[in-house]
Amino acid sequence: MVSGWGWTFNSTKNQDILRWVEVKIVPNSLCEEHYEPKRITSSILCATNNSSGLCHADNGGGLFLQTDRRDLQIGVASFCSSSCTDETPAAYTKLVSYIGWINRIAEIQDE
């Protein structure tokens, strides 16, 4: 699931209501077909639902994995296609790639 305050398919302004949509994680190789070479790196996670999802002004929003017990944030919205409504997967920064840095900056002790 991804959520954000960004544009919708029929609006070019930020929203007053937090919106969300379920998306499916796709292989980075699929994402690479839609973006310039070397833009999709190992610290990127790609997701789509084939019709909507990440759009302009949603950057920085969370990508969550929903489980039976809880929702886990696994990504941060990074970039998307210019149309926002096509089948182009959106890209998210993979949090696990930066967990050491996050723990250090937040002064979280490993248990």
In a domain, 63, yes or no: yes
- Beta-bridge mates of residue 25: 47
Rounded (5°) CA angle 91-96-102: 105
Here the CATH number for the domain that contains residue 31 is: 2.40.10.10
pLDDT tens, residue by residue, 24-35: 999 999 999 999
Report if residue 111 sits inside a domain: no
Percent pLDDT > 70 in the chain is: 87
In a domain, 69, yes or no: yes
Structural domain span for residue 47: 2-105
Q: What is the pTM of this model?
A: 0.83
Domain count for the chain, please give it: 1
CA dihedral sign, ordered 33, 2, 82, 99: negative
**Which tens digit of pLDDT belongs to each residue from 57-106?**
788 889 999 888 888 999 999 988 777 767 789 899 999 999 889 889 99
CA distance 31 to 47: 8
99 within some domain: yes
Residue that has been written with the tokens 């790609």 in this structure: 46
Q: Is residue 110 part of a domain?
A: no
Q: Where are the extended beta strands (E) located within the chain?
A: 2-4, 19-21, 24-26, 44-48, 62-66, 71-79, 90-94
